[in-house]
Amino acid sequence: MFDLLIIGGSAAATTAGIYGIRRGLNLKIITKDFGGEVATSGEIGNWPGDGNTDGITLSDKFKKHLEYYKVDIEEGVWVNKITKQEDGTFCVSTKKGNETEKAADKVPNGNESALKCDYIAKAVIVATGVHPRELGITGEKEFRNKGVSYCSTCDMPLFTSKTVTVIGGGNSALESALMGVDIAKKVYVINKNPAFKGDDVLIKKLSFQPKDKVEIIYEAGTKEFVGDKFLAGIKYIDKEGKEYEIQTDGAFVHIGMVPNSGIAPDNVEKNPFGEIKVNTRCETNIPGLYAAGDVSDVPFKQIVIAAGQGCLATLSAVQYLNQLSK
């Protein structure tokens, strides 16, 4: 049995693991893959102490820091469900290996008691982050990984000297478009709003790009992805209701994130967005269960905030464990 089980593999899980091991806890980090959304980020200029880094580099540093303290990390683990048992401990059911089903779909007939306990812990921190929100339009599933992507860092290099389209209006979309400027021949940006909602520095940087290189389409709704074996074009509707089609080799969808909170016990409190509700100590409504990072309802989804929450969650868990031992 573990004192603390940390589920996740990014900033929150990293600090949770560091603080836990330094407090002498018997702990383990389990994750599908280490890095999370941090690893898919491009340039990062707001991480304290390192004004010019990127997602992959920072994620590697996180892992090396954990390895320095010999924190037990197990990758390739898909968590099915967390349940609190009658004795107060937590049962964590998992599926290991290459698995693409959603965790919430793997509960047999919705019966949590039927799940096998692969891990048992006195306390659990959920730091599972988020996954990209889909548009839900025709052709999206058909052309996923065949031109449609949700990760510019992963896939933009595949479109060197080709035409790409970025869909969205926040920081992720801006960063994706700027990456496309360096790699692609032509970049379209489809923004459903009349203006971008990201950081000024990114908005200004994109506005300085040559008009023949970047074309921004405001107040437009993406309707359909079209093509044969691979993506060839995008249909969109402008603010006047007119339909247009642009030819594109790649599409990068950045319209927000969905919290990976389905693994939490069914009685955990969530907000309308599916984020796990926590107090200022990262405690949920279930004693011994904590949530940290983007999966929680903390405002302003930032790497540094997630890292701080990981620290808070572990220190709160330490106090909880101390109370159990009395």
pLDDT digits (tens, 9 = 90+) for 177-221: 999 999 999 999 999 999 999 999 999 999 999 999 999 999 999
pLDDT in tens, the chain (326 residues): 999 999 999 999 999 999 999 999 999 999 999 998 898 887 888 899 988 899 999 999 999 999 999 999 999 999 999 999 999 999 999 986 544 444 443 444 445 445 689 999 999 999 999 999 999 999 999 999 999 999 998 899 999 999 999 999 999 999 999 999 999 999 999 999 999 999 999 999 999 999 999 999 999 999 999 999 999 999 999 999 999 999 999 999 999 999 999 999 999 999 999 999 999 999 999 999 999 999 999 999 999 999 999 999 999 999 999 999 87
From 3.40.50.720, 3.20.20.70, 3.40.50.740, 3.50.50.60, which CATH number describes the 148-253 domain?
3.50.50.60
Cα dihedral 312/314/316/320 (nearest 10): 170
Phi, psi of 56 (to 5 degrees): -65, -45
Joined together, the tokens standing for residue 141 give: 């599933």
- Residues in a beta bridge with 291: 126
Report the alpha-carbon angle 144-149-153, nearest 5: 150
pLDDT tens digits for 70-97? 999 999 999 999 999 999 999 999 986 5
14 within 8 A of 62, measured Cβ to Cβ:
yes
Joined together, the tokens standing for residue 14 give: 């990293």
CATH superfamily ID and name for 2-132+257-324: FAD/NAD(P)-binding domain (3.50.50.60)
Q: How far apart are CA 27 and CA 42, in angstroms?
A: 31
Domain positions in the chain are: 2-132+257-324, 148-253
Give 66-128 as a DSSP string: HHHTT--EEESEEEEEEEE-TTS-EEEEEEESS--S-GGGGSGGG-GGGS--SEEEEEEEE--
Query: Is 148-253 in the same CATH topology as 2-132+257-324?
Result: yes
Q: Which pTM does this prediction carry? A: 0.84
